[in-house]
């Protein structure tokens, strides 16, 4: 393939200069209203009365709306079980009960404070254990099974069992949930939302207000971060602003403060995974039985799909011949938890990586050796997942082999063991080392979401506009799609303008999630541009056979010549790699070459070439279509959710990471000394962007596994709802030594241009920090377990408790 690109993010220059427009940067309209929200301070309570009289007397307040003002008050991505505005009861702290509209933000805030809601508090369920006790669940139990795990466990030479506790985490996107809505003529609404899913936002607004979908357009130019937190939960925010705009016939703006955003919105689902595993003396896993319980919060949101993803990734990189994994989503009285980068994958992977570490300690082996003996490989049929999908293009053995050598794993392990022997006596910080893997399935597990459409417009000057359903949240999806389109026509990326995502241009779109934004939308854009390219190629061939004096640019106005006719490329073209030369990734039609802004064909003009703009103009003058709309769907997905069998994914993104940490024995402070990452991303569209995604995802994952602790009080209210109390990673938390490399892999023939998705998989490699922390604290002289159990996140206190459990028991009793 042609050399990969290292061009910067397409909006890098406007980000740096401050010119990038986010929702709250939109100029205010002269009659615009500000919106604020009244929400519940109780985890569960009956609403006795809402008093708005005093609030309506606040200067500047022009309207207050409650559940009675909503046309249809239920919404939900999977199950419609969540009210837009609470009516008779509230079920979590932060549930919205009223909307305040005012002439300014200050007036809206004062109006909010003046609304009086009388509540009758009711008993609340505030943990997974309580939900299990009360049989409070969302959806039905799910199970995936292969072989006979019960029998294999009983007959295994070695057995162990345990539990992994995984806490939630906040998305902490820099731009809070935000929307501006403009009322248009004839009852239409134009919604500008910070949303990963414009189509769902459109539908929730229309449904809630009793409008047909045709009268609501949702536009997303960009987001200031999303990470899954704006996949579903942006929709009600837009609906609140839309209700004000629709009822008062004035533009309405709603931008949450960081505190309100964190209190109101759901987090990464907490999980509690129980497991038992049987293995042989070499460390080979023979049987795994796992019961996964997640905290879904008060309403379903996406939690059942998140649980499914956790179940599908409970094997991670390892073949397990006998396996059963079940999943239940618990209904509690917390904010409804939602999508977060990695979805449910990190929860299943955390469990199996912990199990690997336990097996190694139990057998006195190095955990890397246990991983290598269990890794998926073709030999012996050990390349089929527990749900029956073959691991094609498997790079895992090679990834382990190469990273082990490049990071000097063996010599560092010897050095660390010697260091820890001394440190146990001297009190120096302990050190830990762990090399983990990821095998992340790429596709939505809900089959109908695996589709996309794209509109490509070629203008007469040879520049392009491209609209897709992908939303830009900083990850560079627009830059990648623009590069793919530009390469196909042999032009520079700056000749392509990616349009804001809009539901009146790209309808019925899927969310930008599941790491599939480029895969789906890039494939659709490529199919569209190739149809145009084939038409242009036919024009070029015919022009070469005509005297240039008779070309349309010389005669169209006179009407003296017959028009050139072409055949449209069949809409049956579904594979974005079909007809493309694999070495370049480009398709060539009729021998016509597109390169460096020109089109080459023997006899085409005096030099055998024309500029793209010249060819496009000739096509236009011959009434040849220069725009195209294409649809793409991922093929060969046949996963049966009921049976838990089939091909759930198009392919797997794979990678390995080795992390070395130090843990202070006196304070529990965790430092990441060094991380080495080796990722298989196929053939990157833009290697610079891909490496930035790897590093960013890993650091975000580090925060999840080490510092980002959510604290709730005994009544279910979030206490850590600001950066002063919620510790996201900063520059001092990144690995002191950080190496990232991409594995050369030409074998991913099933995806567009041979690429592999990068958005989510690297986050799971941060689990190497968590397992390395456990490897460190086990060397404490006061540790009571061979491998102390660390929750996620392994905060300073968590590490200190693992190293000094007896002291903490005394303090806890006191």
Give the active site residue among 760, 784, 785, 798: 760
Residue 750 token pair: 């099933």
Give the side-chain half-sphere CA count within 13 A for 752. 27
Q: Which of 39, 22, 23, 24 has its CA nearest to residue 260?
A: 39
DSSP 331: E
| Burial of residue 553 (number of CB atoms within 10 Å: 0-12, 13-18, 19+) | middle
Question: Pairing state of beta strands 496-498 and 116-121?
Answer: unpaired
* H helix or E strand, kind and range, residue 278: strand 271-279
| Overall residue count recorded for the chain in this entry | 814
Contact (CB, 8 A) for 410 and 683? no
Residue 362 token pair: 């139990």
Report how far residue 192's alpha carbon sits from residue 218's, in angstroms, rounded to the nearest whole number.
6
Give the side-chain half-sphere CA count within 13 A for 744. 3
Contact (CB, 8 A) for 217 and 186? no
Report how far residue 255's alpha carbon sits from residue 238's, in angstroms, rounded to the nearest whole number.
10
Report how far residue 432's alpha carbon sits from residue 635's, in angstroms, rounded to the nearest whole number.
43
Contact (CB, 8 A) for 174 and 223? no
Number of H helices, E strands in the chain: 22, 31
Contact (CB, 8 A) for 250 and 216? no
Query: In 3-state terms, what secondary structure has residue 691?
Result: helix
Question: Pairing state of beta strands 496-498 and 464-468?
Answer: parallel
Tokens 């469990």 belong to 351
| Burial of residue 646 (number of CB atoms within 10 Å: 0-12, 13-18, 19+) | middle
Residue 308 token pair: 């499914």
Give the side-chain half-sphere CA count within 13 A for 448. 3
Alpha-helical segments (H) within 341-387: 345-363, 367-374
Report how far residue 204's alpha carbon sits from residue 209's, in angstroms, rounded to the nearest whole number.
8
Q: Is 45 left (phi over 0), alpha (psi -120 to 50) or beta?
A: beta
What is the four-CA torsion angle of 588, 594, 596, 600, rounded to 10 degrees? 120
Q: Which of 648, 150, 637, 152 has its CA nearest to residue 387?
A: 648
* Number of other residues whose CB lies within 10 A of the CB of residue 132: 15
* Number of other residues whose CB lies within 10 A of the CB of residue 596: 12
Residue 760 a catalytic site member: yes
447-to-389, 442, 444, 517 alpha-carbon distances in Å:
15, 12, 6, 15
Taken in order 622, 624, 626, 627, the sign of the CA dihedral is positive
Alpha-helical segments (H) within 389-494: 396-406, 409-426, 477-489
DSSP 188: -
Whether residue 793 is preceded by a cis peptide bond, meaning omega within 30 degrees of 0, is: yes
Report how far residue 678's alpha carbon sits from residue 152's, in angstroms, rounded to the nearest whole number.
34
Angle between helices 345-363 and 303-312 (to 10 degrees): 30
Tokens 């519940």 belong to 40
Contact (CB, 8 A) for 481 and 422? no
Question: Pairing state of beta strands 33-39 and 252-255?
Answer: parallel
Residues pairing with 440 in the sheet? 653
- Which sequence positions are flagged as catalytic? 760
């Amino acid at each position: 393939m042609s050399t990969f690109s290292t061009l910067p993010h397409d909006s890098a220059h406007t980000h740096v200069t401050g010119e990038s427009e986010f929702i709250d940067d939109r100029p205010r309209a002269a009659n615009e209203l500000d919106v604020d929200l009244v929400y519940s301070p109780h985890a569960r309570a009956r609403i006795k009365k809402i008093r708005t009289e005093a609030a309506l007397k606040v200067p500047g307040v022009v309207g207050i709306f409650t559940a009675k003002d909503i046309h249809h008050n239920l919404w939900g991505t999977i199950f419609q079980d969540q009210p837009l505005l609470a009516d008779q009861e509230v079920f979590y702290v932060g549930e919205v009960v009223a909307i305040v509209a005012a002439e300014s933000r200050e007036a809206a805030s004062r109006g909010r404070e003046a609304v009086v809601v009388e509540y009758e508090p009711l008993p609340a369920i505030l943990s997974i254990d309580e939900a299990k006790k009360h049989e409070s669940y969302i959806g039905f139990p799910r199970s995936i099974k292969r072989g006979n795990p019960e029998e294999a466990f009983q007959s295994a030479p070695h057995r162990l069992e345990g539990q992994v506790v995984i806490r939630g985490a906040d998305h902490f996107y820099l731009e809070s949930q935000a929307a501006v809505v403009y009322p248009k003529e004839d009852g239409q609404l134009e919604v500008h939302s910070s949303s990963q899913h414009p189509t769902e936002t459109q539908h929730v607004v229309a449904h809630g207000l009793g409008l047909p979908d045709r009268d609501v357009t949702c536009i997303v130019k960009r987001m200031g971060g999303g990470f899954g937190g704006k996949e579903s939960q942006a929709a009600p925010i837009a609906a609140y602003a839309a209700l004000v705009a629709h009822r008062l016939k004035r533009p309405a703006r709603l931008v949450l403060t960081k505190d309100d955003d964190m209190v109101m919105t759901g987090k990464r689902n907490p999980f509690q995974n129980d497991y038992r595993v049987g293995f042989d003396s070499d460390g080979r896993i023979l049987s795994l039985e796992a019961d996964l319980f997640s905290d879904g919060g008060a309403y379903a949101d996406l939690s059942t799909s998140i649980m499914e993803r956790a179940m599908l990734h409970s094997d991670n990189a390892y073949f397990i011949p006998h396996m059963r994994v079940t999943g239940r989503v618990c209904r509690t009285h917390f904010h409804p938890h939602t999508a977060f980068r990695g979805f449910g994958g990190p929860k299943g992977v955390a469990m199996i990586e912990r199990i690997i570490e336990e097996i190694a300690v139990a057998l006195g082996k190095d955990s890397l050796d246990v991983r290598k003996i269990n890794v998926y490989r073709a030999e012996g049929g050990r390349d089929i997942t527990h749900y029956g999908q073959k691991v094609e293009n498997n790079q895992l053995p090679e990834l382990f082999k190469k990273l082990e050598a490049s990071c000097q794993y063996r010599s560092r392990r010897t050095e660390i063991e010697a260091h820890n022997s001394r440190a146990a006596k001297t009190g120096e910080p302990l050190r830990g080392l762990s090399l983990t893997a990821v095998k992340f399935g790429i596709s939505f597990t809900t089959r109908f979401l695996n589709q996309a459409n794209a509109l490509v417009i070629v203008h007469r000057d040879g520049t392009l506009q491209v609209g897709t359903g992908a939303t830009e949240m900083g990850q560079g999806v627009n830059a990648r799609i623009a590069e793919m389109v530009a390469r196909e026509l042999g032009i520079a990326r700056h000749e392509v303008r990616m349009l804001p995502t809009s539901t009146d241009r790209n309808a019925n779109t899927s969310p930008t999630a599941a790491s599939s934004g480029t895969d789906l939308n890039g494939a659709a854009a490529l199919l569209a541009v190739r149809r145009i390219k084939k038409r242009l190629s036919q024009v070029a061939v015919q022009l070469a056979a005509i005297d240039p004096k008779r070309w349309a640019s010389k005669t169209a106005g006179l009407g003296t010549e017959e028009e050139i006719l072409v055949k449209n490329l069949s809409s049956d073209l579904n594979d974005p790699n079909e007809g493309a030369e694999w070495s370049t990734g480009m398709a060539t039609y009729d021998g016509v070459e597109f390169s460096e802004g020109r089109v080459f064909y023997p006899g085409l003009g005096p030099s055998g070439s024309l500029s793209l703009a010249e060819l496009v103009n000739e096509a236009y003058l011959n009434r040849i279509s220069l725009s195209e709309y294409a649809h793409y769907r991922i093929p060969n997905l046949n996963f049966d959710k009921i049976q838990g069998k089939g091909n759930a994914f198009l392919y797997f993104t794979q990678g390995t990471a080795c992390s070395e940490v130090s843990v202070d024995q006196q304070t529990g402070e965790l430092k990441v000394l060094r991380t080495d990452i080796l990722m298989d991303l196929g053939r990157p569209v833009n290697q610079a962007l891909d490496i930035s995604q790897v590093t960013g995802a890993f650091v975000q994952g580090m925060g999840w596994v080490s510092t980002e602790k959510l604290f709730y009080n005994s009544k279910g209210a979030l206490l850590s709802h600001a950066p002063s109390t919620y510790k996201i990673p900063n520059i001092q938390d990144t690995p002191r030594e950080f190496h990232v490399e991409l594995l050369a892999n030409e074998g991913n023939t099933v995806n567009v241009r041979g690429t592999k998705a990068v958005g989510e998989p690297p986050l799971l490699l941060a689990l190497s920090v968590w397992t390395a922390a456990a490897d460190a604290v086990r060397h404490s002289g006061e540790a009571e377990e061979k491998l102390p159990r660390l929750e996620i996140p392994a905060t300073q206190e968590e590490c200190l408790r693992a190293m000094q459990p007896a002291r903490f028991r005394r303090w806890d009793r006191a």
